Structure 1
Amino acid sequence: MASVRDIYELVAGGALATTVALGGFSLFLFIFLLGRFSSFFKSKRSKLPTVPEVAGRLPLIGNLLQLKDKKPYKTFTQWAQQYGPIYSIRAGASTLVVLNTTEVAKEAMVTRYSSMSSRKLSNALMILTSNKCMVAMSDYTDFHKMIKRLILSNVLGANAQKQHRCHREAMMDNMSKQLNELLKTSPDQAINFRDIFAPELFALSLKLVVGEAVNALHVEELGSTISKDEIYKILVLDLMEGAIEVDWRDFFPYLKWVPNKSMEEKIRGVDFRRRAVMRALMNDQKKRIASGTVVNCYLHNLLSSESKELTEDQILMLLWETIVETSDTTLVTSEWAMYELARDKSRQERLYEELRNVCGHEKAVEEQLSKLPYLGAVFHETLRKHSPVPIVPLRYAHEDTQLGGYHIPAGSEIAINIYGCNMDKKKWEDPFQWKPERFLDGSYDSGDLYKTMAFGAGKRVCAGSLQAMLISCIAIGRLVQEFEWELVGGEEDNVDTVGLTTHKLQPLHVKIRPRN
């Protein structure tokens, strides 16, 4: 039987626990209400209305349960039909303002750029970008301007495209050769398009970055020699998968001190392997350069005197960025374009007739692109329907501003839903249908790379837009020139996506026949 002292200690202990719990709850409630009142008074000071809020939010976690899948751009687009082109959601402790039309997106990227030029990255992306050490993910600072200038002058700009044209032509010839060999050995067998296109695109990226396509590489830090396929997996596939890894602490920054070991170990493992392979690539090419062999490539130019202020880690990241972006987004666009053309025989034949009329029996070349408007329309319509990057990496409003006639308080995160912009029924007739003809009505200039929002706008416009167009358009043109394309049974329904970009979940399987 408990003594009076035991009962006293039990009651006292319970009272203490209750006091602590109530104190903690009161503190949380105070912080929560303080944030609410602060936002309320800020909106009162502004003459503009506050952004509409998506309903269904729960205490603490906000709208997170409504974004369970890893394709939030589709949910955002559905909400735009109910809440309008601009609305806000709660993602844990953060307020996310979502933009879903071209007009309000361009306002954010151009007119109001100075108020929201910083990037807001997840914990996974902060690790994988080495704290924003990438052109696409860095804040708009002097560092960003310097590295963008470097990549344009060495890899992605107009002059660089002329210098590296031989690599693109070799890539097209290699693909054509492989497809013809497959037709000879297995004429009735379905072809995995990605098995042909992805390795050639990866080889092109390596030539641009380190001067040669690497078939095998000894990686001292991994203690083994790895194949080209393993290099591709480590540098591209694993990183694109890791980039969408969700860390619940992203939504509750005041709990960042709580460990999340499984997530951290996975991402740091991906990062370690990426760095090990990139260092091995760099060291091999440094030895070649030291021996007196000079090749026109990004690495050689980054090691030159013009960029000596860059650290080795920064050089590693800039080289890797070029590899992963060349290898992924251009594949996404080209694979979806060939899917749509193989599915739609009449439009495939229309493109073939245009190519035959302009090029005759010669291979399509880059100088002819301005004379091939339907080929350009196929490219832009594929970018519109299958936006390779459906949501622009989040931006952060570091001061009060306005968008779409609404007040945007400082501290808001801005999500530009490119997919939503390109599915806007007010701008695009039958937006979910693939119709290249919509780009032939004379309202777009034939040389305009920014017909859709796929490449962004303003100071942060995509640096790789010209290269993407040259690779994809010539690849699509050459493939349709030389072969008839047909989907295999069941392929028409394989339209699901995966990853940070709209990567086709299932590789494209087609049957091809040589043209007469």
Structure 2
Amino acid sequence: MDAFIGFLQNTQPVVLLSMAVGLLIAGVFVVVFHGRRHLRSNEPPAVPGLPLIGNLLQLKEKKPHQTFAKWAEKYGPIYSIKTGASKLIVLNSTQVAKEAMVAKFSSISTRKLSKALTILTCDKKMVATSDYDDFHKLVKRCIITNLLGAGAQKQLRGHRDVMVSNMIENLETTIKENPSGAVNFRDLFKDELFRLALKEALGQDIESIYVPELGKELTKKDLYNVLVVDPMTGAIEVDWRDFFPYLRWVPNSKWEEKIQRMASNKYVVMKALINEHKRRIQHGEGTNSYLKHLLSLETLTEEHLISLVWEVIIEASDTTAVITEWAMYQLAKNPDRQDRLYDEIKEVCGTEKVTEEHLPQLHYLNCVFHETLRRHSPVPIVPLRFVHEDTQLGGFDIPAEAEIAINLYACNMNKEEWAEPDEWRPERFLEGTHEFSDLYKTMAFGAGKRACAGSIQAMLITCISIARFVQGYGWRLVEGDEDKVDTVQLTAQRLQPLCVYVKPRK
């Protein structure tokens, strides 16, 4: 909403006059025809807002999940708000969220994307953002079979082992060079995670590549910025016209240029990477990769290939890093719980290094993982869905053409479902008050037919990394960082990178 306010402050009077006329016409339409509309007596309670713009001014901070959670305390777990011309139904409890994602899936299976996400995803040409149709079923089957399913993860085990070994080696080097200095955990983790994502998507690590359209060679750091950092930033850039579709004709040039530049840079870089992979295949150098499988389908356009391969890179590089960084923050902040995890690792593994074979026996580690998902949901709000037929949720009538926002943050911070939800307490899952199935109550990977395909990989990478970090080193926060919990971007990434003192264990 800051973008909308800034637009009003900097726009020419003629354009503002045009907007005013458009809003006036829309207002007259609402007044004249609202009375003719059949009112449903059983719709969810509505949060009061202003005429025409609805509740937009109340959402000016880019942390709607927190605002939604506060409203839930007053209006209940399901309510409606107005975002300009659209009605948004917000779900804030586990029960009603699962009802929407599972029982009523057929009525709300369509994705609703902002203009920014539409541009960045080439109009839904990805598994995560596509509508539930034949294309979605095809590409989700491809990514599970060849990359993210249990069988594929066994074949890709070597990549993960190399990743963890590299991180430990880099950590040891950093400590030796500056034994008393703080370690930037994000830099340590994200570089190797990005390397892993490139190997899985393209079959090899990429140190640099020449991009003809840009006329220059891009380093790995450049690649990370273009393919991960910029799109994640652009995904939360608000085009105020999303809220007022009847004003699409009013220009928003500065916003359009920014998003189009991000999308164009991403596109030409991915095109260069794909062309290089094709060249290697022609020379008999191609290795097994997700891209190689997609090329074998022979039915996908260049836009499809670019979007699907980029999806693997950005999703593997971002959300897993977010989860792991928060887990290490909490362990460094809570030395008693860090010691408890270390003791479990010693009991299970003895003097052996932790491997993925040990993970099923490390119950407290499993609790650390799921408690971090609960307290720091990597995607606080599930991407919006569109109601394409009248349905019911939580006992309320939900009209067609409404939008649905599932607020996982509010679900996981609900005092009626979680005791002391503000506290990060992994042992809550070991106290007998929760069934094993409650480990998945956080819904961090969604539920139903649109559940995240990458849940197995995220769990393996995060858990083995945490275990190896704690097995070999003691972790302590930098003084003053105990309460630094602000987040940024589309996911719940920490605003400030985690910096910790790390000491090798004897």
Output aligned runs, 1:15-414, within 5 Å: 27-33=25-31, 36-37=34-35, 39=37, 41-43=38-40, 49-55=42-48, 57-304=49-296, 307-414=297-404
What is the CA–CA distance in structure 1 between the aligned matches of 2:106 and 2:150, rounded to whole Å? 28
Map of 2:420 onto structure 1: 430
Distance 1:253 1:365, change over 3 A: same
Q: Deviations over 1:9-61 (max 9, x none)?
A: xxxxxxxxxxx99998885344213553455x1515xxxx1110112x11111
Q: CA deviation at 1:214?
A: 0.7
Distance 1:23 1:338, change over 3 A: closer
Map of 1:8 onto structure 2: none
In 2, are the aligned partners of 1:370 and 1:446 still within 8 Å (CA)?
no
Distance 1:66 1:272, change over 3 A: same
How does the TM-score come out when normalised to structure 2? 0.94
What is the CA–CA distance in structure 2 between the aligned matches of 1:390 and 1:25, rounded to whole Å? 32
Q: CA deviation at 1:294?
A: 3.2
In 1, are the aligned partners of 2:22 and 2:246 still within 8 Å (CA)?
no
Q: Deviations over 1:190-249 (max 9, x none)?
A: 000011100000000000000111111111111001110110000000000000000000
Q: CA deviation at 1:427?
A: 0.3
How does the TM-score come out when normalised to structure 1? 0.92
What is the CA–CA distance in structure 2 between the aligned matches of 1:405 and 1:184, rounded to whole Å? 61
AA aligned to 1:152 is I
Which has the larger displacement, 255-264 or 386-395? 255-264
What is the CA–CA distance in structure 2 between the aligned matches of 1:350 and 1:23, rounded to whole Å? 65
The number of equivalent residue pairs is 489
Q: CA deviation at 1:491?
A: 1.4
Q: CA deviation at 1:160?
A: 0.7
What is the CA–CA distance in structure 1 between the aligned matches of 2:245 and 2:23, rounded to whole Å? 18
AA aligned to 2:207 is N
Q: Which protein shows a greater Rg?
A: 1
In 2, are the aligned partners of 1:168 and 1:204 still within 8 Å (CA)?
yes
Q: Deviations over 1:442-483 (max 9, x none)?
A: 566658872311111000001100000000000000000000
Which has the larger displacement, 330-339 or 357-366? 357-366
User: Unpaired segments of 5 or more residues in structure 1?
Assistant: 1-19
What is the CA–CA distance in structure 2 between the aligned matches of 1:200 and 1:370, rounded to whole Å? 24
Map of 2:479 onto structure 1: 489
Map of 2:456 onto structure 1: 466
Map of 2:429 onto structure 1: 439
| Structure 1 runs (4+) greater than 4 angstroms displaced | 20-27, 442-449
SS, match of residue 121 in structure 1: coil
Q: Deviations over 1:106-157 (max 9, x none)?
A: 0100111111111111110110011111111110000000010011111100
What is the CA–CA distance in structure 1 between the aligned matches of 2:33 and 2:261, rounded to whole Å? 37
Q: CA deviation at 1:258?
A: 1.4
Q: Deviations over 1:418-463 (max 9, x none)?
A: 1011001100000011000112235666588723111110000011
Distance 1:142 1:491, change over 3 A: same
AA aligned to 1:100 is N
Distance 1:60 1:289, change over 3 A: same
What is the CA–CA distance in structure 2 between the aligned matches of 1:191 and 1:32, rounded to whole Å? 57
What is the CA–CA distance in structure 2 between the aligned matches of 1:34 and 1:400, rounded to whole Å? 24
In 2, are the aligned partners of 1:449 and 1:466 still within 8 Å (CA)?
no
Distance 1:447 1:214, change over 3 A: farther
User: Unpaired segments of 5 or more residues in structure 2?
Assistant: 1-17
What is the CA–CA distance in structure 1 between the aligned matches of 2:458 and 2:141, rounded to whole Å? 18
In 1, are the aligned partners of 2:94 and 2:441 still within 8 Å (CA)?
no
Q: CA deviation at 1:270?
A: 0.2
AA aligned to 2:98 is K
- Structure 1 vs Structure 2 CA RMSD: 1.8
AA aligned to 2:198 is L
What is the CA–CA distance in structure 1 between the aligned matches of 2:360 and 2:23, rounded to whole Å? 65
